[in-house]
Amino acid sequence: MKSVITKLLIILCFTFSIEIANAQVQIAEGDPPNNTDLPFFFKSKLEHIDEELALVEKGKVEAVAISPGGLPVYAVYYGEKEEFHSQANYNSAVAARNPAYYAQKGPDTKPVVFIIGPVHGQEVEGIVGLVNLIHIAETGKDYRGQDWSELQQKIEQCRVIIIPCANPDGRRRCPYDSFLGLHEDMVTKYGQGTRKDGSMWGWPGAKSNHPMVGDVGILGSYFNDAGVNIMHDEFFHPMTAETKAILEITRKEAPDMTVTVHSHETPPAIYNPMYSAWYMKERVYDLEKRLNNRYKEAQLSYMPDSLLRVPRKEDDEFPPHDSFNLVCALHNLSGTMAFAYENNDGTVSDRIPEPFVTYEDILDIQLLLYDEMLDYALNDRLYWTLEE
28: in domain: no
- 141: helix, strand or coil: strand
Does 252 have pLDDT greater than 50?
yes
Query: Cα 27 to chain center, whole Å?
Result: 25
Question: H-helix or E-strand containing 116?
Answer: strand 112-116
Does 5 have pLDDT greater than 50?
no
How do beta strands 72-78 and 60-66 pair? Answer: antiparallel
Q: What is the mean pLDDT of the chain?
A: 94
Predicted confidence (pLDDT) per residue in 343-383, tens digit: 999 999 999 999 999 999 999 999 999 999 999 999 999 99
Q: pLDDT tier at 24 (50, 70, 90 boundaries)?
A: confident
Q: Are 245 and 64 spatial neighbours (Cβ–Cβ below 8 Å)?
A: yes
Q: What mean pLDDT comes out for the span 28-46?
A: 95
16: in domain: no
Residue 50 belongs to domain with CATH number:
3.40.630.10
Does 195 have pLDDT greater than 90?
yes
Domain containing 83: what range?
38-312+328-380
**What pLDDT shows up at residue 31?**
96
Predicted confidence (pLDDT) per residue in 97-116, tens digit: 999 999 999 999 999 999 99
Cis bond before residue 211 (omega within 30° of 0): yes
Does 6 have pLDDT greater than 90?
no
Q: pLDDT tier at 15 (50, 70, 90 boundaries)?
A: very low
385: in domain: no
**What pLDDT shows up at residue 20?**
41
- For the sheet containing 269-271, what is the strand order? 60-66, 72-78, 159-163, 112-116, 257-264, 337-344, 269-271
DSSP for 33-66 reads: PPP----TT---SHHHHHHHHTT--SSEEEEEEE
| Range 316-351 burial, b when 16+ CB lie within 10 A, else e | eeeeeeebebbbbbbbbbbbbbbbbbbbbbbbbeee
**For the chain, what is the domain count?**
1
Q: Name which of 103, 121, 101 is nearest 112 in CA terms.
A: 103
Q: pLDDT tier at 388 (50, 70, 90 boundaries)?
A: low
110: in domain: yes
Does 244 have pLDDT greater than 70?
yes
Q: Name which of 123, 114, 47, 116 is nearest 81 in CA terms.
A: 114
**What pLDDT shows up at residue 141?**
98
As a whole number of angstroms, the distance between CA 325 and CA 328 comes to 5
Q: In sequence order, what are the beta bridge partners of 160?
A: 78, 113
12: in domain: no
As a whole number of angstroms, the distance between CA 377 and CA 158 comes to 8
User: Using alpha carbons only, how large is the chain's radius of gyration in Å?
Assistant: 20
Q: Are 193 and 222 spatial neighbours (Cβ–Cβ below 8 Å)?
A: yes
In the chain, what is the greatest distance between 2 CA atoms, to the nearest angstrom? 69
Least confident of 43-57, 241-255, 280-294, 303-317: 303-317
As a whole number of angstroms, the distance between CA 239 and CA 231 comes to 12
Angle at 17 between CA 12 and CA 21, to 5 degrees: 155
* More confidently predicted of 7 and 272: 272
81: in domain: yes
DSSP for 323-362 reads: ---HHHHHHHHH--EEEEEEEE---B-SS-SS-S--HHHH
320: in domain: no
10: in domain: no
Question: H-helix or E-strand containing 167?
Answer: none
Question: H-helix or E-strand containing 247?
Answer: helix 241-253
Q: Name which of 73, 185, 195 is nearest 130 in CA terms.
A: 73
**What pLDDT shows up at residue 23?**
73
DSSP for 259-283 reads: EEEEEESSS-EEEPPSSS-HHHHHH
Does 19 have pLDDT greater than 80?
no
